[in-house]
Amino acid sequence: MSDTQRGDTATDRTETDADVESDEEGYEPRDVFDSTTEMDLRAGADNCTKVGTCDAECPVAEVNDDFPGPQFQGPEQWRLSQKGEVEIDDSITECSNCLQCDSGCPSGVPFSEMHNTARAKYVLEDQPLSIKKIRNRILANYRTSAWLASKLPRTANFFMNNGAVRWLMEKTMKIPSEREFPEFATQTFREWWAERGGEATSKERAREARAERGGAHVQSDEKRIAYFHGCYSNYNTTQVAKAMVRVYESLGYEITVPKQKCSGTPMFANGRVDDARRHAKVNVEHLGNAIEDGYDVICTCSSCSLALRQEYPDLFDLEGIDELAAHTYDAMEYLRIHEDLEAELAGANAEEFPDVAYHAPCHSRNQGLGRQAVELFEDVEGVTVTDVGDSCSGISGTYGWKSEKYETSMEIGEEMFEHMEETDAEHGMTECPTCSMQMEHGTGYEISHPMQLLETVLT
């Protein structure tokens, strides 16, 4: 499937008409690799017509003249690798994994798969051992660090943002001291979920909501979702996960929170596809069990939904992976498909919510979801949601958390910062947790998630 087709499919899934039913066959992962264990990207490389759209769309190439760009990193480097023992060029580590090259290519070249494959080969076979390589492995496995910090969150928050500690981390681990470390929640989302009563409480609250809406106070076989919260909503922005729970339950949905690990997004970006595969096996198994029980999977993080329904089937051959991709949705997208949100929001007032400058993450745009928040809230009284354009935030997950990439990250984000400050809003909104970090870092604005605005007007 070409990227143009993927964009059309993702857009189709974001219908606002409440009568449109979910088409589980509507999302088809691209068939990039053949059935052998050897990744064969010949078809994708041969599709490249060298028009240069990928390089023109690349935010890193725009600010870094030394970066050769996606065309070289993808099809050209793959062709070279087929001619013999050719080492992967170390500039592959300059790619931020924003996927704008995927979105911009008119020929459907699978750049992200090529970059992920090349980066993994370089890291595992060619990259020499160094402090930066060790740091990248730590950043790639953020879930492990966050789990440790969650055991003593107040202590972790104090030390991680201590000036001396940040200085030391820059000197020893090459993590930029300019970055403010995200605060760890004093109670993780999963701890809150368990304390609240877990799935049993969610079922009861959903049944009560359906009864209030004129339905029967019985279990529903249709309104059932499995929440993939990812790392950040579990350990840091738990308010986003809680907002999702309250919104969905108010609309009558019964929620389950399966066992899960990291989506693998930071691992892909750091060449640790081996680590990502181990996490993917757990996620595919447990989310797959939920799907078999009649649940659809929803994510509040745009990078998590991208990983589950695009990067997993493109990179891994695991039983049940295509079924998971077909049943995975962005949280807002799912409601726009299955609910008449326009009717729900008719007459709603959000005066208590500040006007916001909205940034659509690159990974949302890659799924065809770039304007869904703007479209949904444009007629809601009391709040103005201003789209700040299609520029990249620049942080790209762990990319902007590396000292040698910090300035590049901020240069890329400059356009977004300027557009935010040109609006009348002094508050930001986005679906991506690291874009949120960058928005706050570059403007000083407080940043929210669309689910939090939806919670304000619906509950």
Domain limit, last residue, from 293, 322, 339: 339
| Distance (Å, whole) CA 378 – CA 393 | 23
- Considering the domain boundaries, does residue 23 fall inside one? no
pLDDT band at 3 (very low <50, low <70, confident <90, very high): very low
pLDDT of residue 219: 56
pLDDT of residue 35: 38
Kindly tell me the number of DSSP H helices and DSSP E strands found in the chain.
28, 8
pLDDT of residue 340: 93
pLDDT of residue 34: 38
* 333 in the same domain as 357: no
Q: Are 234 and 204 in contact (CB under 8 A)?
A: no
pLDDT of residue 84: 67
pLDDT of residue 216: 55
pLDDT band at 77 (very low <50, low <70, confident <90, very high): confident
* 120 in the same domain as 137: no
- For residue 367, give the CATH number of its domain: 3.40.50
* 322 in the same domain as 195: yes
* 114 in the same domain as 163: no
- 369: pLDDT strictly greater than 90: yes
* 275 in the same domain as 200: yes
Its pTM stands at 0.88
* 73 in the same domain as 143: no
Distance in angstroms between the alpha carbons of the first and the last residue of the chain: 40
* 289 in the same domain as 224: yes
- For residue 223, give the CATH number of its domain: 1.20.1050
Mention every residue, 6+ apart, whose C-beta is less than 8 A from residue 304: 228, 230, 263, 265
| Nearest of 78, 221, 236 to residue 70 by alpha carbon | 78
Neighbours of 449 (CB within 10 A): 26
* 335 in the same domain as 358: no
- 122: pLDDT strictly greater than 90: yes
| Nearest of 51, 48, 45 to residue 33 by alpha carbon | 45
Find the radius of gyration of the CA atoms of the chain: 21
pLDDT of residue 43: 59
- Considering the domain boundaries, does residue 38 fall inside one? no
pLDDT of residue 449: 98
- Structural domain total, the chain: 4
Angle (CA) 18-20-22 rounded to 5° is 115
pLDDT of residue 381: 92
- Considering the domain boundaries, does residue 181 fall inside one? no
- Considering the domain boundaries, does residue 310 fall inside one? yes
Q: Are 301 and 451 in contact (CB under 8 A)?
A: no
pLDDT of residue 11: 42
- 217: pLDDT strictly greater than 60: no
pLDDT of residue 42: 55
* 197 in the same domain as 59: no
| Distance (Å, whole) CA 2 – CA 105 | 9
- 183: pLDDT strictly greater than 50: yes
* 218 in the same domain as 357: no
pLDDT of residue 29: 42
- Considering the domain boundaries, does residue 14 fall inside one? no
Q: Helix H segments across 293-432? A: 302-306, 312-315, 321-326, 331-338, 341-345, 362-365, 372-377, 403-422
pLDDT digits (tens, 9 = 90+) for 417-459: 999 999 999 999 999 999 999 999 999 999 999 999 999 999 8
- Considering the domain boundaries, does residue 182 fall inside one? no
Q: Are 44 and 113 in contact (CB under 8 A)?
A: yes
Segment among 34-48, 106-120, 194-208, 328-342 with least mean pLDDT: 34-48
* 258 in the same domain as 156: no
Domain limit, last residue, from 139, 173, 207: 173
- Considering the domain boundaries, does residue 246 fall inside one? yes
| Distance (Å, whole) CA 47 – CA 108 | 7
Question: Which whole number is the average pLDDT over 152-162?
Answer: 96
Question: Which whole number is the average pLDDT over 98-111?
Answer: 91
* Domain ranges, residue 397: 347-458
Domain limit, last residue, from 109, 139, 173: 173
pLDDT of residue 23: 39
Mean pLDDT over the full length of the chain: 89
φ, ψ at 288 (rounded to 5°): -65, -40
pLDDT digits (tens, 9 = 90+) for 298-343: 999 999 999 999 999 999 999 999 999 999 999 999 999 999 999 9
Question: Which whole number is the average pLDDT over 33-43?
Answer: 46
* 321 in the same domain as 390: no
Share of the chain above pLDDT 90, in %: 78
pLDDT band at 344 (very low <50, low <70, confident <90, very high): very high
Q: Are 305 and 329 in contact (CB under 8 A)?
A: yes
- 27: pLDDT strictly greater than 50: no
Question: Which whole number is the average pLDDT over 399-415?
Answer: 98
